[in-house]
Structure 1
Amino acid sequence: MELELLFNIKILTIKRKTMLRLFLLFLISITFSIPSPNKFNEYFIDVAEKGRPSIVSIISEKTERIQRMPNFFFFDPFEFEDPFRQEERKAQSLGSGVILDSDKGYIITNSHVIDEAEEIKVILQDKREFEAEIIGTDPLSDVAIIKIKADSLIAAKTGDSNKLKIGEWVIAIGSPFGLHLNNTVTAGIVSAVGRSDIVSKAKFENFIQHDAAINPGNSGGALFNLNGELIGINTAIATDGYSRSNAGVGFAIPINQAKRVIEDLVEGGIVLRGYLGVSINDVDENTAKVLGLKNKKGAFITSVVKNEPADNAGIKEKDVITAMNTIPIEDSTDLRNKVSNLRPGETVVFSIIRDELLLTVPVTLGTRPSEEELAKAYIKDRFDLLGLLVSENKDGDGVAILDVDPKSEIFKNNVRKGDIITEIGKVAILNIEDYNNELDKYSVDEPIMIRLVSNNTIRYIAFLIK
């Protein structure tokens, strides 16, 4: 019994010593893993010292035309010049940029910083000044590349913006308010990622939101992480509505997104983006209920452009795209950004919900047309041969006109939304099927006669289809 008791006491003593050693090791690891205030400061100091030489100030100059205001108090009746004539003046704007390639002199900035610029001057941290040439601009992503011929340039080290975490420290460097404040360093944290519809719904936005102080002049400047890596290009701020100064909310273009644009701009001066050929909306609560969806994630297809990649692959209206190459799609903006980041000719497998069934559809992407071409394609796809968008007439026979192409011949004949088509040629139109069948018999440059009911008045119009 005594031997057993001594043995147990010895075991207990060993356990206590082991626990004490482990506790001491834990305290030591904690002590060395938490940086001291001085060590924490050194992270910011190191990023500032390494990052500032890669930041430039950009002065862009362009000619503006302003309306001259006549001075009626000193009007000269013998002056033959137009008192309301426009006058020209030189206007300057200030922004920032980041050196990406020290050998080739490439500098990234925002497209809006050099928009319509006739002359661009770049000022380095060491006060040297250089004239810059534009390599390429992409207003849809607000990214531009300019080039200077200079020696001893220091380029920023780029990081991976996909690895950013909300709450992570970031450092902004730029030239707020003017050259007298160039290379200003501010710090903050990442407040959110994937922000869109901030500047314009028409642009490709996937912003990093942060609270490092940035102001007018910071546009095109750098956003660094604590490793000194460039992870974003500052592009926009939210203001208090009364001034242009910062209200604690800034937005930066992720460097990964910018890299994709830069590659195309450097290679050919334009950005080639993947194109699906659909119109899309977010899935709202009512749409989700009607389609039997479990949640509101995904992109709802509202229309498919004929003979474009989606149409050729069999994607249809009212389909909901929920994933792309197994990567979930959050909403319509997410799909738009993901498709545009791919290159023409790439094959993508989309996960689609149709009639409550999950389908997989492979699509070979096309080349995204220009904004002007997209607008024309939308109009062409929206309207039929006559320039009309029609639907069943809920109040009786015929088809109801929902919209009219303002450039069409039928519009010139005073046909408007709300009118009812009851006859084409000598054939009665009872429904949408009759309308489509009869319209298929016509083509461009053929004459056509239509019977309309407009404001309870029957009238006939005849015109040449163009």
Structure 2
Amino acid sequence: MFGRIVLSFCLAGAFLLAGAKSEEALRSAIVKVYSVIKTPSYQTPWSSSIKQVSGSGAVISGGRILTNAHVVANRTFIEVQRYGDRKRYIAQVEAVSHQLDLALLRVRDPRFFEGIEPLKLGTLPQIEQRVSVYGFPMGGDTLSVTAGVVSRIEHQQYVHSGESFLAIQIDAAVNPGNSGGPAISDGKIVGVVMEGIQKAQNISYLVPTVMIRHFMKDLEDGRLDGVPAFAALTQPMENPTLKKHYGLGSHDGGVLVDKVLELGGLQGILKPGDVITAIDGHPIQEDATVAFRDGEYTNYEYYVQLHQMGEKAAMDVLRKGKKLSLEIPLNKKADDLLLVGTYQYDRMPRYFIFGGYVFAPLTRNLAVRVARSHISLIPYVEEFSTKKRKEVVLLLRVLPSAISRGDYSLVFWPVSKVDGKPVESFASFYREVYDGNATEVTLQNKMGMQVIIDRKEAEKRQKEILRRYNIEYDRSPDLRAKGGD
């Protein structure tokens, strides 16, 4: 009996020791990420500001560090520091998905990885499953660990991109600096911390491993294509009269196709009035959700987003009472479809100046900053591109000079026509302004209001105006790269 007690104590001690080693090995894979970022100004697109931010990350297979895209967005310089070491190592971004708020970093110095056991990706956790969040939040320099449980799993808007994907909500405390750190359960990563709701009590969100794996698979060919979007607008089928009108029974589900987007590649395949009842064999409920696990539901586009770009999704469709099985090509992401694309990162804003008149495309980055004072821009953000209009061009501002008197008050002024021609894109607008032969450049907005610029005077006074306002270049780097003074 005594021998059994001694053996039990020995086994318990061994398990505790193994647990301690496992925890120590886990912590060694957690890193702090230091980024110097260059934040562009979308209201004065030739200028920018520099600041330092920090986040967290985890070493995974292949000598890579997994973190958030927003930790390294607009980066100019990155360093990483491993747990238990005060030395910082220079890192580079290997790949970044601003859609999914994920990034992979590389460190060239092999000494950084000495003694580190890479963390592995786990599966989608269960509701109420316990998780531990590792990272370097504000309030200290050493590693922090907070515990919580999985509260819910469903589609949420990712703040960094503005797009909606599957997300995990947890009740562990998360603060600035935790971003990019792993949430661990049973020794494996179940998600990457992307945000916390500061005004709520312990509500935080993770990018789940199902989306991390999508990111990893996308990179296998050496190119990041992104997550496909469904190029049609739909509505739920909860209303009983709506169901009856389109031939559905009271207990049937599905989504009604309202519009097939012009540039989405689905013309001639789907039609307005179609009812999509299932996707990849998964029935769509009347509230436009699908089951991703028994008893757990999320937006039906989940099964679109599991695909890689270029693949096809199988859809069951009811068209005028007839059941069809269709293959839907998935060749577009949200940026390809929106008139005003998703948030931009890692590049300076596009612009050009002509005689003190500053022009730029309308971006989401700009729209959200000025929405309260210029609500007329909001409708553009909700529109989709067409063959005739792929971007909104703004007269962003007017730099006062002798040739622009009377126009100083024009800011964020959408240009509908240039020299009588509808504006298709920023690139075509730029060519029309610079390559036109008319003595005047005539701009119109949708209300018919005109701005007329004397071409010779604009060209003559260009350099003088730039010097006056201390602006080095009259156009953005992408336009300078194409040549022209």
**TM-score above 0.5, yes or no:** yes
Q: Give the one of 107, 111, 135 matched to 1:148.
A: 107
2:177 paired residue number: 217
Q: CA deviation at 1:258?
A: 0.8
Q: Judging changes above 3 Å, is the alpha-carbon distance between structure 1 residues 90 and 266 closer, same or farther for their aligned structure 2 residues?
A: farther
Question: Is the counterpart of residue 54 in structure 1 residue 19 in structure 2?
Answer: no
Equivalent residues in 2 for 1:338-349, closer than 5 Å: 338-349=303-314
Q: Judging changes above 3 Å, is the alpha-carbon distance between structure 1 residues 357 and 196 closer, same or farther for their aligned structure 2 residues?
A: farther
TM-score by length of 2: 0.58
**Mapped contact 2:150–2:171 kept (Cα < 8 A):** yes
Q: CA deviation at 1:107?
A: 0.9
Q: CA deviation at 1:305?
A: 3.2
* 1:302 counterpart SS class: strand
Question: Is the counterpart of residue 380 in structure 1 residue 386 in structure 2?
Answer: yes
Question: Is the counterpart of residue 203 in structure 1 residue 159 in structure 2?
Answer: no
CA distance in 1, matches of 2:31, 2:73: 17
CA distance in 1, matches of 2:147, 2:257: 41
Q: CA deviation at 1:264?
A: 2.6
Q: CA deviation at 1:267?
A: 4.1
Aligned length in residues = 326
**Mapped contact 2:98–2:160 kept (Cα < 8 A):** no
Q: Give the one of 300, 322, 329 matched to 2:277.
A: 322
1:280 paired residue number: 234
CA distance in 2, matches of 1:382, 1:319: 26
Residue by residue over 1:33-58, the C-alpha shift from the partner in whole angstroms, topping out at 9 and shown as x without a partner, is xxxxx999999967643422111111
* 1:137 counterpart SS class: strand
2:80 paired residue number: 122
Q: Judging changes above 3 Å, is the alpha-carbon distance between structure 1 residues 92 and 265 closer, same or farther for their aligned structure 2 residues?
A: farther
1:174 paired residue number: 135
* 2:99 counterpart SS class: coil
Q: CA deviation at 1:300?
A: 3.0
1:233 paired residue number: 192
Computing the radius of gyration from Cα coordinates, the structure with the larger value is 1
* 1:380 counterpart SS class: coil
Q: CA deviation at 1:229?
A: 1.2
**Mapped contact 1:352–1:358 kept (Cα < 8 A):** yes
Question: Is the counterpart of residue 108 in structure 1 residue 108 in structure 2?
Answer: no
* 1:310 counterpart SS class: coil
1:77 paired residue number: none
2:416 paired residue number: 407
Which amino acid in the other structure matches residue 56 of structure 2?
Answer: S
Question: Is the counterpart of residue 371 in structure 1 residue 331 in structure 2?
Answer: no
Residue by residue over 1:88-122, the C-alpha shift from the partner in whole angstroms, topping out at 9 and shown as x without a partner, is 76411111111112xx4211111111110100111
Q: Judging changes above 3 Å, is the alpha-carbon distance between structure 1 residues 89 and 239 closer, same or farther for their aligned structure 2 residues?
A: closer
**Mapped contact 1:58–1:121 kept (Cα < 8 A):** yes
* 2:416 counterpart SS class: coil
CA distance in 2, matches of 1:281, 1:234: 31
Q: CA deviation at 1:272?
A: 4.0
Equivalent residues in 2 for 1:383-398, closer than 5 Å: none
1:134 paired residue number: 93
CA distance in 2, matches of 1:63, 1:230: 30
CA distance in 1, matches of 2:166, 2:158: 9
Q: Judging changes above 3 Å, is the alpha-carbon distance between structure 1 residues 169 and 144 closer, same or farther for their aligned structure 2 residues?
A: same
2:292 paired residue number: none
Structure with greater helix share of residues: 1
Question: Is the counterpart of residue 299 in structure 1 residue 255 in structure 2?
Answer: yes
Q: CA deviation at 1:234?
A: 0.9
Which amino acid in the other structure matches residue 69 of structure 2?
Answer: S
CA distance in 2, matches of 1:270, 1:295: 41
Which amino acid in the other structure matches residue 280 of structure 1?
Answer: T
TM-score by length of 1: 0.60
Which amino acid in the other structure matches residue 133 of structure 2?
Answer: A
Q: Judging changes above 3 Å, is the alpha-carbon distance between structure 1 residues 345 and 412 closer, same or farther for their aligned structure 2 residues?
A: closer
CA distance in 2, matches of 1:39, 1:212: 30
Which amino acid in the other structure matches residue 339 of structure 2?
Answer: A
Q: CA deviation at 1:316?
A: 0.9
CA distance in 1, matches of 2:47, 2:263: 49
Larger RCO, structures 1/2 (Cα 8 Å, 6+ apart):
2
Q: Judging changes above 3 Å, is the alpha-carbon distance between structure 1 residues 411 and 229 closer, same or farther for their aligned structure 2 residues?
A: farther
1:95 paired residue number: 55
**Mapped contact 1:276–1:310 kept (Cα < 8 A):** no
Residue by residue over 1:201-245, the C-alpha shift from the partner in whole angstroms, topping out at 9 and shown as x without a partner, is 8414210111111111111111111x21111111111222xxxxx
2:215 paired residue number: 261
